[in-house]
C-alpha cells in the first residue's frame, strides 16, 4: 500500500472541524470499566529467501500516553462523522456485542454479523491511528466504510470466546508487509488487529491487494476457535461460517490470546508461499 500523506483532516471523509474521538467507545468503558491499558502496535515486514521467509518485526510501542484506555482520545475524526454514522453504528452494535462480551454465546444472524463486522472495521480504523507508523487500512476502505456502513472488500472478521484475567480492554494491531521479491517491501499491504473485551475476542484482517484476499479465508478456516467468519459476499451481503453443532466454541486462554497475532501472521505467510 502506498504510504499516505497524513493531513490533519478527518480520516473518513477528509473534512475539517475535527473532534476528539475515544479510542475505546465510551459505552464500553462505562459498562465494563478497567484501568489496565494494554494497547499494542507492531510493524512486521517479510522478505523471501531461497528456502524461507525472513521476518523483520518491530515493536512500535504501547502508546506513550498516561491513563487507562477509557481516557485516551485522538483528534482525527470530524464532528459530523463522530456524531453521525459512527454514533449510529455504535448504537446498532451495542446489543449485539453485550451478550458476547458477557459470555452468552449465540449464533449471529446475517444482519447482526454485518453490523458487528462494520463496527470492528470502524474501531480498527480508529485504533491504528493511535500510532500512525502502523497505518495499513487504506483511505479507500475508510471512505467505503463511511459511505456504506458495512465491511469493506478484502476484509474478514472472526469472533471467539476468551477465558482469562489478563486481558479485558486489550488490543494488538500489526501492520503487515507481504513481499513479492527478496527485498523487504517498502510499504504495508495488510493488517491484523485483535480486540478483547470481557469474554469476547475479535480478530480483524484486511489486505489492500485482491490477489491476497483468499488468504484471509484459508487462514481463518484453519483456526477452529474462531467460529464466526464475516467477509463481504460478491454481489452484497455477508458470508458466515459457524458450526451449529458447537454453539459455544473452545475458548482462548491467556497464552493463546498473547500468541494469536503471531500464529495468524505465520499462517498467512505460509499460505502465501506454499
Phi–psi pair at 203, nearest 5 degrees: -120, 125
Q: Taken in order 154, 214, 212, 136, is the CA torsion positive or negative?
A: positive
What domain range is 85 assigned to?
Answer: 18-273
| Separation of alpha carbons 40 and 42, rounded Å | 7
pLDDT at position 62: 46
Query: Domain for residue 1, yes or no?
Result: no
Number of structural domains the chain divides into: 1
Query: Domain for residue 11, yes or no?
Result: no
pLDDT at position 80: 95
pLDDT at position 236: 47
Q: Show the 3-state SS of the chain.
A: CCCCCCCCCCCCCCCCCEEEEECCCHHHHHHCCCCCCEEEEEEEEEEECCCCEEEEEEECCCCCCCCCHHHCEEEEEEHHHHHCHHHHHHHHHHHHHHHHHCCCCCCCCHHHHHHHHHHHHHHHHHHHHHCHHHCCCCHHHHHHHHHHCCCCCCEEEEEEEECCCCCCEEEEEEEEECCCCCCCCCCCCEEEEEEEECCEEEEEEEECCHHHHHHHHHHHHCCCCCCEEEEECCCCCEECCCCCCCCCCCCECHHHHHHHHHHHHHHHHHHHHC
Query: Domain for residue 255, yes or no?
Result: yes
Closest Cα to residue 258, out of 40, 104, 62?
40
Query: Domain for residue 8, yes or no?
Result: no
Query: Domain for residue 9, yes or no?
Result: no
Q: Taken in order 214, 219, 230, 72, is the CA torsion positive or negative?
A: negative
Query: Domain for residue 12, yes or no?
Result: no
One pLDDT digit (tens) per residue for the chain, 274 residues: 444 555 689 999 999 989 887 777 888 878 877 655 566 666 666 655 555 555 555 555 445 455 565 667 788 999 999 999 999 999 999 999 999 999 888 777 878 888 999 999 999 999 888 778 788 899 999 999 999 999 998 888 888 888 887 777 778 888 887 765 556 667 788 888 888 888 898 989 898 877 666 666 666 555 544 555 555 444 444 455 444 445 566 778 877 777 777 777 777 766 666 6
Query: Domain for residue 62, yes or no?
Result: yes
For the entire predicted model, the pTM comes to 0.82
> How far does Cα 234 stand from its chain's mean position?
21
Phi–psi pair at 162, nearest 5 degrees: -125, 130
Query: Domain for residue 3, yes or no?
Result: no
pLDDT at position 129: 84
| Separation of alpha carbons 15 and 170, rounded Å | 30
Amino acid at each position: 500500500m502506498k504510504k499516505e500523506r497524513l493531513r490533519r483532516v478527518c480520516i473518513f471523509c477528509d473534512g475539517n472541524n475535527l473532534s476528539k474521538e475515544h479510542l475505546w467507545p465510551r459505552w464500553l468503558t462505562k459498562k465494563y470499566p478497567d484501568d489496565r491499558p494494554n494497547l499494542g502496535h507492531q510493524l512486521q515486514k517479510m522478505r523471501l529467501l531461497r528456502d524461507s521467509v525472513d521476518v523483520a518485526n518491530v515493536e512500535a510501542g504501547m502508546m506513550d500516553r498516561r491513563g487507562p484506555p477509557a481516557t485516551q482520545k485522538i483528534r482525527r475524526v470530524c464532528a459530523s462523522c463522530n456524531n453521525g454514522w459512527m454514533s449510529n453504528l455504535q448504537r446498532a452494535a451495542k446489543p449485539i456485542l453485550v451478550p458476547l462480551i458477557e459470555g452468552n454465546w449465540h449464533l449471529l444472524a446475517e444482519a447482526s454479523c454485518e453490523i458487528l463486522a462494520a463496527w470492528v472495521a470502524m474501531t480498527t480504523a480508529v485504533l491504528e491511528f493511535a500510532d500512525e507508523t502502523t497505518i495499513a487500512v487504506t483511505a479507500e476502505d475508510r471512505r467505503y466504510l463511511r459511505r456504506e456502513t458495512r465491511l469493506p472488500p478484502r476484509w474478514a472478521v472472526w469472533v471467539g470466546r476468551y477465558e482469562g484475567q489478563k486481558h479485558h480492554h486489550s488490543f494488538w494491531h500489526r501492520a503487515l508487509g507481504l513481499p513479492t521479491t527478496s527485498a523487504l517491501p517498502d510499504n504495508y499491504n495488510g493488517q491484523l488487529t485483535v480486540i478483547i473485551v470481557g469474554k469476547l475476542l475479535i480478530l480483524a484482517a484486511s489486505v489492500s491487494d485482491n490477489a491476497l484476499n483468499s488468504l484471509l479465508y484459508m487462514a481463518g478456516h484453519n483456526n477452529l476457535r474462531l467460529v464466526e467468519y464475516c467477509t463481504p459476499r460478491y454481489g452484497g451481503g455477508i458470508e458466515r461460517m459457524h458450526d451449529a453443532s458447537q454453539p459455544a466454541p473452545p475458548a482462548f486462554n491467556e497464552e493463546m490470546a498473547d500468541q494469536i497475532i503471531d500464529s495468524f501472521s505465520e499462517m498467512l505467510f505460509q499460505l502465501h508461499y506454499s
